[in-house]
Structure 1
Amino acid sequence: MFQEPDYRENLSLMLSEVLHDIGVNERMVIRRRRQNMLREAISYIKNRLIDYNVTEYYLGSQSEGTTTTGLNSDKDILVCVCDVNIIQDWSEWEHGKTNYFMIHDENTTPGYCLLQLLRHDEPLPVTLIPDEHHISDRSGRILLKNTKFNGVISDAVDHGPSNALQGQPGLCDTDYVPAFHCKSWPQSASGWFERQGIDRWPTQDMKRYAASTGCFVVPTGSKVSEYPELEWRISTSLEERCLMFNLNITQIRCYVLLKMILKYFLNPQGEINISSFMCKTVLLHCIEKTESSIWKEKNLFTCLTYCLLELHSCVHNDSCSHFIIQENNLMAGQFTAGKKHELSKYITEFIQNDGHGLLRIDIDDLGQRLQVKLNMVPHGAYNFQSSHEIYEMHLASLYVNIAIQTSRCNMLLLQNQNMSTMKQTVCKLMTFNDNRLQHVAFKFLAPLFFTAYGSVMTSSSIGEKNQVSPEALVWLSAGLNSDISSSRLKLASVFYSTGDMEKAELILRHTEQQYYSYPVLPICCSCWKRPQPPVTSEFVRACCEQSEDSIKHITPFCVIFIQEEINCVPRELQYEMFRSTQDDMIHRDEGKDFWMDWAEVDSLPFLYFLQYKVYRHLQKHQYQQQALSKLIRTIETDENLGHRETAFNILGQCMEQENRPQEALKCYLLSLQQRARNNVANFHICKLLSRVLTGR
């Protein structure tokens, strides 16, 4: 098997080069993993701060670094509900918690379990059905149905055990998989610790890690179960992530190739005949059964062939054993006889073609790039992105995702906050420094919240002293580097609101200079379902010149004022906090539209609006008109505005102050075109028409 002819070795080396060029290389894999683990850390801190007792784990190809642009892999996020205790032994029962006992019996599909509800006051079974999510079986056990989480995630569609948020503009699809955690290792997987692969892989360190992480149960039943709505699948996701993190680059490339073959040949219309998880499982079995010295670049094609032979055997026998829970057959009930024959035929043909099938794969131009490498076509026949360009684009995309995560987590942190709760949140926030990832996540989240805290403190004291207290100024200053503009603009707004126009003007001038010193990419908050602006080549280059932490210096966030900051908000923007009429409230989703009680505005329009107001107070009329012109131009030409309706509303009020009522009315009508409901433009129009009619 592994005594390769020269052409196979040459094909393997060329194939490795192609995969390196399209981003499957050590540097990119490490980057992908780190950024996803950092996003996991940001999410962890956010959930702890808002007392949301769940932990999110970023899993799958995106977090493993086993994907490419062309594969367009989903984001897989396992959402673990932490206030439920899953036990396998009565000694694990916890007083006061919701406890479930994992049941495995002769009627339970291997790799699955039933969850029996226990009492919270003593370790005994519950005997009465508490709600519609539970059912009593023939033995009188009260069992939890796996339909409990159906429809939990808004705008989601059922997708196996997950809720898949699909078609979100500018973002890849995200599968949110709800789960419960069990602290102990699944009894059905105990044999895995005794199994010894060739070259002792997985290592004892990996197995010790697995033993310490326990397992999850996710709400899905087996396809061959008699009671599919009662079974819960046992998941060893963290252990599988650990295994994938310990693969070498050739093994990762082999897995990427398997997924490309899967997508192009075996699931060509997007149907799921063989899943990528099955391919991953086949790969892990193959690694376990071979010597580690085999998995080298010069053997890539032979390793791929070996995996395909193993996959063919699985399809032929209707049997693909879960890598950790071997009794769990991933292919049980998966294929009809006709589909099984068809898949076996395709895999056999691909193997027999001895690599020619790879030349047909158009995902990431793999086939064309391979033809060039093998001198089958002239080197100038195709115009490919260079490996460096692809790396830069991937890196910029990862950085932008971190900024988006930061912005959206900040919104959730600000929900339901007041002076008292913000002080508590700041104290809790200062404690998150357990490890390096949490420290980095802290540096992303903290400045935005510090700024909001300082602004709330100032708003509270404006009515008494009309000044910024030294303590508030400390917090406002601590948040200045949250991003390139939003916290600076809030500080300028604070000084404007206290009448210190000179300081406000100085900050605004400096912020404008900074804004145009680098190519920037505005980060959309989650208020609108709108595409994230595409990255420009200039922004990509700027990203590559920045460190991970410094990306916030080229990304402007929206400026957010919660109700408690109202005294730090210009009057024209305060109206946004009262945008909803009683009729509008009917059309609000309180789970998502809480921001409608705030004032939110894009950084650039707010910058020019504040300049207009400050220069008006300073009686610098030329600069005032320049600021107004910039505001108009920004609204007309900037395609990346997330709150265009708000920008039109504040521009309309500027036009009213300029005594240009017709232009003001036009602005309000254009605002309503952006958002017909929950838009304060309706109030502005009524107010404007009343003023015109009464002559006041």
Structure 2
Amino acid sequence: MTEIAAASFYGRGLRHGPAYAEQGQPGFNDIDIVFAFPCTSWPLQARQWLDWQGVGQWPSDLMKRYCSSTGCFAVGVGSKGSENEELEWRISTSLAERCLMFNLDITQIRCYVLMKMILKTFIKPYFEDTISSFMCKTVLFHCIANTCLNIWREKHLLVCLSLCLSVLYKSILNENCPHFIISGNNLMRGHIPHESKPYILEILNYIINSEGRALLGIECDSLGARLQLKLSNLLFGFEFKTNDIISGHLLQLTAHFIHFKIQECLIEITNSSYEEAIQTLLKDIFKLAIIYDQSLGLDKTACSLLAPQFCTTLGSVLGSYNIQLFNAISAKAFTWISMGLNTDVSSSKLKLASMLYCIGDTQRTEIVLRDTEANYDLNIVEPICRCYSFIKQATRRGFFAISNNHNVEAIQYTTAFCVTFLPCEINCVPHELRYEMFRSTQEDLPFRGILDFWMDWAVVDSLPYLYFLQYKTYSNIQRHQEKQRALFNLVKTIDQEPNLAHRETALNLLGQCMEQEDRARDALHCYLLSLNLRERNNAAKLHICRLLSTLVNDY
């Protein structure tokens, strides 16, 4: 470009980072021009990226070798807020990033396009120069590199989009979005005004928790209208299944209500002594029994669904108290917990198995776990958790089919509540899970929400906890083949079950299994993945410190 042309361009164009953009000129195409000096060698700050490998095994070694051969550019843009911003230059690896973009599959490209559409619809009209497309692309790269590639499938598009938006949310929250190749370059430095940050986070939180409904508001390419039409056609085409769908949703709502009401009551005894917790639970159980005797219809049904959950908790609290005093469990504790074994497919039975495991009764533990696994139909059973809101994958078809043919008692064999232990149940909890009760440092506490009371408990999804207990039990009785099968199932569940609410906890348990297998590197990888899912209030920090300390001392 000649100096005259350049001067003319500077006069009309707008600057975006290293690029000068000219848009909206009648009769002319929109253009971006970046003035840069080419460098033939790969930058020193990026070379450590060549040796790094994420869980998704992406980028491949072949892609990295190509990227390292592309060289880089020096572009005239400084660090935001720097005293010498107008004089500084930055390294650009745009050719390597183009290689990465060309190697995305169709689901990943769609995810990126949807992020840009969301940005254009919900963020840019109000906060123009905050979140850029380049940040969205960088977030996508990080997500692909840190997740298993089999997640990136067309049927998982909404889950993948939710993952990317959640990572973007965390980046904005921490005002830190590391460049994918040169991690020392924070793309968000100086881009998020303090007064705008809460509103941007609120918008993203709405989109993430809308379960895809926010996409209906996107006007770009008439996406929202086209989705509305598509949904209308689907509902018309599957009208014959309406009863299944309605029955399934009603059953799920009922299960969520039960979980919510139980949690609401457990909050009262979170910090109670054994005696106070036992008295409170007995009072709640007797109150439900009286209402049950005096009521008809829905009130009677509600009591019959709630009471067994309290019985399970009471039995576990009594068991924990017995273990503390006698290292054994009384018949009374077993009686109470047995009264709630059929609350759902697994959670109450897993609490019983956990109690038995903690007193060393491996034979009975194995029997309970085998029975639980036999009743957990992976084609039907839906995980149920109300600890916090997250976007869920579509409900299993088998769940809908069963729901339409049964009444509310179907909860017993179609749902799996997360397994919850209060501090007063700690002696019924394996030591690997106890760490979850101490997940929050003083620095983490300010990042808790008003509904994050569950973070003082040990909470884990049923299915991964089933396989974890199997792994520990078979390890103790030296049944190697069954132990390895349980470990394989635990890994598979964490990787493939889309509706785990406490995936970070499952990863923490898996990490400790890997430590037991003398696979320290894999264990550390599990803890880092856990931190990627929940950066704050996560026991993974404890495990990483403990593991590194052990490795240093052993060395």
Structure 2 equivalent of residue 682 of structure 1 = 541
Q: Which deviates the most, 644-653 or 444-453?
A: 444-453
Deviation at 1:395, TM superposition (A): 1.3
Distance 2:323 2:356 in 1: 11
1:582 to 438, 442, 452: 442
TM-score normalised according to structure 2 size: 0.56
Q: Deviation at 1:689? A: 0.4
1:483-539 deviation per Cα after TM superposition (whole angstroms, max 9, x unaligned): 111001111001101111111100101110100276111112233x20243223222
Q: Does 1:460 align with 2:321?
A: yes
Q: Any gaps of 5 or more consecutive residues in structure 2?
A: 1-200, 215-223, 270-276
- The AA in structure 2 aligned to 1:477 is S
The 8 Å contact of residues 455 and 476 in structure 1, kept in 2 or not, is answered as: yes
Counterpart AA for 2:352: L
1:482 and 2:482 correspond: no
Give the equivalent residue in structure 1 for 2:241: 389
Does residue 551 of structure 1 match 2:551?
no
1:301-346 Cα shifts (integer Å, max 9, x gaps): xxxxxxxxxxxxxxxxxxxxxxxxxxxxxxxxxxxxxxxxxxxxxx
1:421 matched to 2:280:
yes
Question: Retained in 2: the 8 A contact 1:561–1:599?
Answer: yes
- Letter paired with 1:481: N
Residues 1:613 and 1:363: Cα distance change in structure 2 (over 3 Å): closer
The equivalent of 2:498 in structure 1 is: 639
**Contact kept? 1:487, 1:559, Cα under 8 Å:** yes
Q: Secondary structure at the match of 1:556?
A: strand
Matches of 2:398 and 2:521 in 1, distance apart? 39
Deviation at 1:628, TM superposition (A): 0.8
- Which amino acid is the alignment partner of residue 247 of structure 2? L
Alignment match, 1:406: 258
Assess if the C-alpha contact under 8 Å between 1:169 and 1:532 holds in 2: no
Looking at both structures, which has the greater relative contact order when contacts are Cα pairs under 8 Å and sequence separation is at least 6?
1
Shift of residue 423 of structure 1? 2.2
CA displacement, residues 243-272 of structure 1 (integer Å, 9 cap, x when unaligned): xxxxxxxxxxxxxxxxxxxxxxxxxxx9xx
Question: Residue 483 of structure 1 aligns to a residue in which SS?
Answer: coil
Counterpart CA distance in 2 for 1:513 and 1:538 is 16
Is the partner of 2:447 in helix, strand or coil? coil
Q: Distance in 1 between matches of 2:550 and 2:498?
A: 33
Overall identity of the aligned pairs, in %: 42
Structure 1 residues 407 and 695, CA, compared in 2 at 3 Å: closer, same or farther? same
CA contact (8 A) 1:403 1:552 kept: no
The Cα shift of 1:427 comes to 2.1
Letter in 2 for 1:646: T
Q: CA RMSD in A?
A: 2.7
Shift of 1:555: 0.7
Q: What residue in structure 2 maps to residue 508 of structure 1?
A: 369
Q: Is the 8 A contact 1:169 1:530 kept in 2?
A: no
After superposition, residues 468-547 of structure 1 pair within 5 angstroms as 468-516=329-377, 519-527=380-388, 529-547=389-407
SS in 1 for 2:420: strand
2: CA distance between counterparts of 1:501 and 1:493?
10
C-alpha displacement of 1:156: 11
Of 502-511 and 541-550, the range deviating more from structure 2: 541-550
Q: Is the 8 A contact 2:384 2:417 kept in 1?
A: yes
Unaligned runs of 5+ in 1: 1-154, 158-164, 174-269, 271-360, 369-381
CA distance in 2, matches of 1:525, 1:533: 15
Q: Separation in 1 of the partners of 2:355 and 2:235?
A: 52
CA distance in 2, matches of 1:616, 1:657: 10
Opposite residue 304 of structure 2, the aligned amino acid is K
Task: Determine the structure 2 residue equivalent to 1:606.
Answer: 465
Partners of 1:494 and 1:568 within 8 A in 2: yes
Residue 268 of structure 2 aligns to a residue whose secondary structure is coil
Counterparts in 2 of 1:598 and 1:517: CA distance versus 1, 3 Å:
closer
TM-score with structure 1 length normalisation?
A: 0.45
Give how far 1:383 is off: 9.2
> Paired residue for 2:26?
none
Alignment CA distance shift 1:694-1:364 (3 Å): closer
> Given that residues 577 and 598 in structure 1 are in contact (C-alpha distance below 8 angstroms), is that contact kept between their aligned partners in structure 2?
yes
Deviations 1:202-244 (A, max 9, x none): xxxxxxxxxxxxxxxxxxxxxxxxxxxxxxxxxxxxxxxxxxx
- AA matched with 1:390: T
Paired residues for 1:312-391 under 5 Å? 384-391=236-243
Match of 2:433 among 558, 561, 573: 573
Letter in 2 for 1:508: L
Displacement of 1:669: 0.3
Aligned partners of 2:373 and 2:314: how far apart in 1?
24
Cα deviation per residue 1:15-66 (whole Å; 9 max; x = unaligned)?
A: xxxxxxxxxxxxxxxxxxxxxxxxxxxxxxxxxxxxxxxxxxxxxxxxxxxx
Task: Kindly indicate whether residue 519 of structure 2 is the aligned counterpart of residue 660 of structure 1.
Answer: yes
1:649 matches 2:508: yes
Give the conservation status (yes or no) of the 8 Å contact 2:387–2:454: no
CA contact (8 A) 1:525 1:557 kept: no
Contact 2:343 2:411 in 1 (8 A): no
- Distance across 2 between alignment mates of 1:614 and 1:686: 26
- 1:131-142 correspondence runs (5 A): none
